[in-house]
Structure 1
Amino acid sequence: MSDMTLAAAVAELDALEDPKMRAANEKRGDDHGMNLSRLRAVAKKIKTDQPLARELWATGDTAPRLLALLICRPRDFSADELDAMLRDTRPPKVNDWFVNYVAKKSPLAEEMRVRWFGDPDPTVDAAAWALTSVRVVKDPEGLDLDHLLDLIEARMKDAAPRPQWAMNETLAQIGIHHPRLRPRALAIGERLQVLADYPTAPGCTSPFAPTWITEMVRRAEAVA
């Protein structure tokens, strides 16, 4: 645990504030003006500090919460704490970091996946699908992949943006890692056309599931 106080940590964050960066971030829905590489440098200096992380999170502000997610200890949060935190992660970057740096690393990840699956709050449902994608890749035993494809086929087209994106990832991962279901995953993606027109930078792979699946399988076969 570090010896940094909440006041000192917030002062360091305030020093990182850049009006131009804030303007760019706000276009993406993130209400902070920090260069994230510089934020990570602050976190690296603090290292892991669960009490400070809790204090930073309790401020309710985006910049302190991002720092909290970098210095916290995921295993120290209870199921109810994880649930409450997720439901309060409205800014996109806070949501993204919470899911990837805390929920996915928690020993309660599977418990939370089940608890959150199908929640009426799109942010919560999206987190369940994100955790499902991890299981599809790393631990598919016990998952009903056919049923997941049924749900994706029925719900993804009209889903809110966050769960739609997360379902699309699950669709792609099923197609990439489970050859038996690849034809169906490709067919669902082609039929629904979700993210087919998503702008993709040169050299990057499109998130459109059929393109994503085909490219990842091609790469795997090239090195086999």
Structure 2
Amino acid sequence: MDLEMVMQELEALGKERTKKIYESNGAHEPLFGVATGQMKPIFRKTKINQPLAEQLYATGNYDAMYFAGIIADPKGMTAADYDRWIDGAYFYMISDYVVAVTLAEADIAQEVADKWIASGEELKMSAGWSCYCWLLGNRKDEEFSESKLANMLEMVKDTIHDSPERTKYAMNNFVYTVGVSYVKLHDQAMQTAKEIGPVEVNRDKKKSSVLIASERIQKAVDKGDIGFKRKHVRC
């Protein structure tokens, strides 16, 4: 399949209702409004295809950009490629659920995510913290430095309330994910969550959200989910 064929198939799957949901979260034209689960039949035709993924991502069409993440070859992308993708991510559903997810399957994931976290730019920081969430929920604990993650928890504790809105959300999720998926630091993550307390995140045109990581971690404890790992990052 080529770019034109994929775009035609995506357009045919678009629904006005889904489009409005995406727009309410920050997406803008061009987009079709394709439910992500509807993309699987197209993936069966394209398989992993990095050149096509690059073409789709460059369209700026939200649905095409999302599908680009599905068919990308994460290990075949360089740090410069990921930087280009994050520069093109204009709202959090692309930065955190396309770029960060794709990066989480790459060997250079931590290196790139660390750079983004240090960037001071809202969506880069959000993608960096989100990437660690995807990594921690999928990779073995031995692949991480315990002292590094402990220092990252300290960084969250010290800076979360003064961070950009979307970054706050990703940082809070990082504390929760460490508490659930990285057993050695469960206690520190829970303590960090309690010290942070409620985190208010303001959202455009919507009511602000109040995030409480300690309650989410406790729910995971109650359900026996501590140590959870998923088999795959991408669907």
AA aligned to 1:28 is N
Displacement after TM superposition at 1:112 (Å): 0.5
Work out which of the residue numbers 24, 27, 31 in structure 2 matches 1:30.
Answer: 27
The aligned residue for residue 18 of structure 2 is: 21
Does the 8 Å CA contact 2:179/2:189 hold for their aligned counterparts? yes
Displacement after TM superposition at 1:76 (Å): 1.1
**SS in structure 2 at match of 1:30:** coil
The aligned residue for residue 194 of structure 2 is: 187
AA aligned to 1:147 is N
Query: Where does structure 1 lack aligned partners over 5 or more consecutive residues?
Result: 197-205
Give the structure with the larger strand fraction: 2
Does the 8 Å CA contact 1:30/1:92 hold for their aligned counterparts? no
AA aligned to 1:60 is G
The aligned residue for residue 149 of structure 1 is: 153
Identity, % of aligned positions: 21
1:156-214 deviation digits (Å, cap 9, x = unpaired): 11322221111112222333432441552242233xx1159xxxxxxxxx952111111
Matched residue pairs, number?
211
AA aligned to 2:175 is L
AA aligned to 1:56 is L
- Structure 1 distance, partners of 2:40, 2:225, is 36
1:123 equivalent to 2:123? Answer yes
Change in CA separation of 1:168 and 1:116 when aligned onto 2, cut-off 3 Å? same
The aligned residue for residue 223 of structure 2 is: 219
Displacement after TM superposition at 1:136 (Å): 5.5
AA aligned to 1:27 is S
AA aligned to 2:112 is M
Displacement after TM superposition at 1:46 (Å): 1.7
Tell me the TM-score normalised to structure 2 length: 0.77
Change in CA separation of 1:162 and 1:40 when aligned onto 2, cut-off 3 Å? farther
Change in CA separation of 1:92 and 1:145 when aligned onto 2, cut-off 3 Å? closer
> RCO greater where, 1 or 2, for CA within 8 Å and sep 6 or more?
2
Name whichever of 214-223 and 165-174 sits farther off. 214-223
Query: Where does structure 2 lack aligned partners over 5 or more consecutive residues?
Result: 202-209, 228-235
Does the 8 Å CA contact 1:62/1:91 hold for their aligned counterparts? no
The aligned residue for residue 10 of structure 1 is: 7
Displacement after TM superposition at 1:150 (Å): 2.5
**SS in structure 2 at match of 1:87:** helix
CA RMSD between the two structures:
2.8
Tell me the TM-score normalised to structure 1 length: 0.81
Displacement after TM superposition at 1:60 (Å): 2.1
1:58-87 deviation digits (Å, cap 9, x = unpaired): 222212211111111111111111011112
Does the 8 Å CA contact 1:175/1:185 hold for their aligned counterparts? no
- List aligned pairs for 1:34-183, cutoff 5 A: 34-133=34-133, 138=141, 139-176=143-180, 177=183, 178-182=185-189
**SS in structure 2 at match of 1:144:** helix
1:36-66 deviation digits (Å, cap 9, x = unpaired): 2212322233211122111111222212211
**SS in structure 1 at match of 2:94:** helix
AA aligned to 2:34 is M
From the CA coordinates, give the structure whose radius of gyration is larger.
1
